C-alpha cells in the first residue's frame, strides 16, 4: 500500500501498527520522493487474520505476501486511522484524505480499538445496498461505490482546466 505524505515518518508507521494492536507484524517500507507530497512509503503488513493474504477489498487494497497471515480488515483500518490522525491530507492506499476514509468506512475506525476488532476470519461481507458491503456479524460497513465516485471526481477535477 502506497502512502504519500508531508508529515508521516517511518517511526509513525511503527507506532500505527501498535495502535492497531498487531501482535505479529512485519512492516516493510521503502521511502521515495513523491510528486504529490514530500515523501512516499510503500507498506506491507501482516497481522492476526486466520486467513492467508489474498487480494480483496479491504482498507489496504490489494497486496501480496507469501507464507504469512494477513492483517485483518480492521487492522488495516486502525492502522490507516492512526496515520490520518497525524496527516489528514495524506494519500493512503485508495483514500485521498482522512475525511473520505472516515466517510466510506462509516467512521468505524474513529473509535475502534484492537480488542473490539472483528478478528479471526474477519468480516463476513454481504451486500444489502448496491455499492456497499456490510458485515453480517458486526457493524462494519464499507461503501466502495462512494469511494470510487469520489476518486473519479477528484481525477476529473485534476484533468479539467479551470476556466473563469
Chain positions contacting Zn ion, by CB under 5 A? 118, 123, 135, 137-138, 140
Minimum CB separation of residue 62 from Zn ion in Å reads 20
Strand pairing report for 44-45 and 27-28: antiparallel
| Minimum separation from the CB atom of position 133 to Zn ion (A) | 10
In whole angstroms, the minimum distance from the beta carbon of 148 to Zn ion comes to: 22
Nearest to 97 by CA among 109, 81, 110: 81
CA distance 71 to 38: 27
For Zn ion, give the closer residue by CB, 4 or 123: 123
As given in the structure block, the three cell numbers for residue 158 are 485534476
Kindly tell me which of 96 and 122 has the beta carbon lying closer to Zn ion. 122
Q: What is the rounded CA–CA span in Å between residue 113 and residue 50? A: 19
Is there a contact between 1 and 65 (Cβ–Cβ < 8 Å)?
A: no
Nearer of residues 3 and 135 to Zn ion, judged by Cβ:
135
Name the grid cell of 135.
458485515
CB of 118 to Zn ion, least distance (A): 3
- Residue nearest Zn ion by beta-carbon distance: 135
- Tell me whether residue 120 or residue 131 sits nearer to Zn ion (CB atom): 120
Minimal distance, residue 120 CB to Zn ion, in Å: 10
Question: Nearer to Zn ion by C-beta: 85 or 139?
Answer: 139
Q: Report the alpha-carbon distance of residue 91 to residue 89 in Å, rounded.
A: 7
The grid cell for 106 is 462509516
Amino acid at each position: 500500500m502506497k502512502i504519500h505524505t508531508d508529515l508521516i515518518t517511518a517511526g509513525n508507521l511503527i507506532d500505527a501498527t501498535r495502535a492497531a494492536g498487531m501482535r505479529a507484524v512485519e512492516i516493510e517500507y521503502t521511502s521515495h520522493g513523491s510528486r504529490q507530497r514530500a515523501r512516499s512509503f510503500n507498506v506491507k503488513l501482516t497481522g492476526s487474520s486466520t486467513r492467508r493474504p489474498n487480494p480483496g477489498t479491504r482498507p489496504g487494497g490489494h497486496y501480496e505476501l507469501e507464507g504469512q497471515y494477513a492483517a485483518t480488515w480492521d487492522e488495516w483500518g486502525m492502522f490507516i486511522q492512526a496515520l490520518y490522525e497525524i496527516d489528514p491530507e495524506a494519500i493512503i492506499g485508495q483514500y485521498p484524505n482522512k475525511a473520505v476514509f472516515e466517510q466510506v468506512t462509516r467512521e468505524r475506525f474513529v473509535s475502534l480499538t484492537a480488542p473490539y476488532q472483528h478478528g479471526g476470519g474477519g468480516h463476513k461481507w454481504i451486500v444489502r445496498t448496491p455499492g456497499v458491503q456490510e458485515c453480517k456479524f458486526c457493524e462494519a460497513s464499507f461503501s466502495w461505490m462512494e469511494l470510487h465516485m469520489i476518486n473519479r471526481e477528484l481525477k476529473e477535477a485534476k484533468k479539467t482546466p479551470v476556466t473563469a
